[in-house]
Amino acid sequence: MTEHSEWLDDVKSRFDEYKGKGGFQVLFPEYRPDLTHALANHLGLGFYDFRKHKMLSEGWRAGEITLDEMATTLLEESKKSGLVVHNTEALLATKSEKERKQWYEKFFSIDWPNPIILPVSIYQSDTPRGNPRVCDISLTEFPKESFLMRLAS
Type of residue at 112: W
Cα–Cα distance between 9 and 5 in angstroms, integer? Answer: 7
Give domain limits for the chain.
Answer: 6-152
- pTM, two decimals, is 0.88
List, in sequence order, the alpha helices (H) in the chain: 6-17, 33-43, 50, 67-80, 89-92, 97-107, 147-152
pLDDT-derived band at 138 (thresholds 50, 70, 90) equals confident
For the cut 80, the answer to whether the pLDDT of residue 153 exceeds it is no
pLDDT above 60: residue 86: yes
Closest among 102, 105, 67 to 88, alpha carbons compared: 67
Greatest Cα-to-Cα distance within the chain, rounded to the nearest angstrom: 41
Is residue 148 scored above 50 in pLDDT?
A: no
Span 68-91, mean pLDDT? 97
1-28 mean pLDDT: 86
Q: Does CATH number 3.30.70 belong to domain 6-152? A: no
What is the model's pLDDT at position 151? 47
